[in-house]
A and B are shown apart, each in its own frame.
Chain A
Amino acid sequence: MDIVLEVKNLNVSFNNEAVIKDLSFDVKKSEVLVILGPNGAGKTTLLRTLLGIVPHTGEIIWRTKNISYLPPQEFVQRKNMPPLSVLEFFKIKNDSLKRIKEIINMVGLDKSILNKEFYNLSTGQFQRMLIAWALINKPEVLLLDEPASGIDIGGEETIYSLLHKFWEKWGITILMVTHDLNIVWEHATNVLCLNKRGLCYGPPEKVLAPKRLKELYGVGIKFYKHKVKK
């Protein structure tokens, strides 16, 4: 199977404090890799490093340039900003109006949203809109950081189902940071357990034993393993 990303001996430090230590893994085409770990484990830093935002040592080899990113909501400025319509936000991507309307429709939003102010959307609408924005170029790889944070349980399920739909339809490779173990069982093909170091890597049914979770989070984690057909 084609490898789209190779990470070798990755190290990231902030102010001489190691945030990621000697991390190596591969990501194959059309894989859904869920990155798990407690707060401060380096998950967000890992995604930002993979995008070239954070200085690092080690090797990051992308075998595609068609990569999209959906940052966590707190990394997107929405308050006290001047007016910007959703359509203007999409124009940054240089796509046709027809394509913009198509993708808006595909994420379950009405095209009337294009005339709304970017900053006045509800959290759920905003996240769907950002997903549409990330997907409009039909990326080969999508990096997501807590895509359902701040969204209620029903909305959360919709976001993950939506992403699953695009994964099935387009065969996108997805790298996703989440705290939600249910997402691992329902959607992940592989899981990377991270707590500064890589503690496990592989299919969830093989690597996510309770002992491993205790090692990762420092406390016993109870979970229910869904029997979901991928």
Chain B
Amino acid sequence: MPLSDFAIHAHGLTKQFGQHTAVDRLDLTVPRGSMFGLLGPNGAGKSTTLSMITGLLRPDAGLVTVNGVSVWPDPTAVKAGIGVVPENLLLFERLSAREFLSYVGRFRHMTDESIDARTNDLLAVLDLESADDKLITDFSMGMRKKISLAAALLHAPPLLILDEPFESVDPVSQRSIRQILDQLLDAGGTVVLSSHVMATVEELCDWAAIMHHGQLLRHGPMSEVRAGQRLDDVFAQTIGSDALPPTRLDWLNTFAAEPENRSGAEL
């Protein structure tokens, strides 16, 4: 495929924190118009990878292009064409949901009319209308996710990169978010999401990648990654943890022999 067919193309992407290599010479391609699921256990390097792709964390080595534009020479230009829900939701805590979206829209050079209309739509669809005037500092985790998603969608980006978008979000809103993502996809957009929920990724995504210890272990169309199995089975096999090692947690069987460990006696 020519490079222009990819929404994201990363080559040799590497990031180290001290002695720890969070992402190790990662090669990743995301085709335009795909719904791409990035999977991996905690600490696999998913969020670090997404941060490097979105211009939020400078890689130690490697190249990454987004929509054909190299990210690190000019991250500002790349950010203009993407919507991001990052891992750390750093929001303006002392603004209300509406004010927050209003400022994000201004920073993206949108007209006031457009900001107002889209804010109304997004708050309604994401069930945040009742929190219209509530300060973000008082939001629940799920509401913070939703307002962050609204900010990422406000300028109708062709590429949406979402780090755990369904985490802490109620089922009704999850449904709404899926519909929004489908709509974006139908219009020719691309969505990249990371998630721990296999069922969600299996249902939504047509491309997937599995990361572990900073490396990409599987990568391709969902049908190829699954290879006729359930995604969670493939995931467990890929990262090598499909069963608890029999030698671990042996002490769990010793409760009958050590009743004094659970004594309620005061010292």
A and B held together in a complex: no
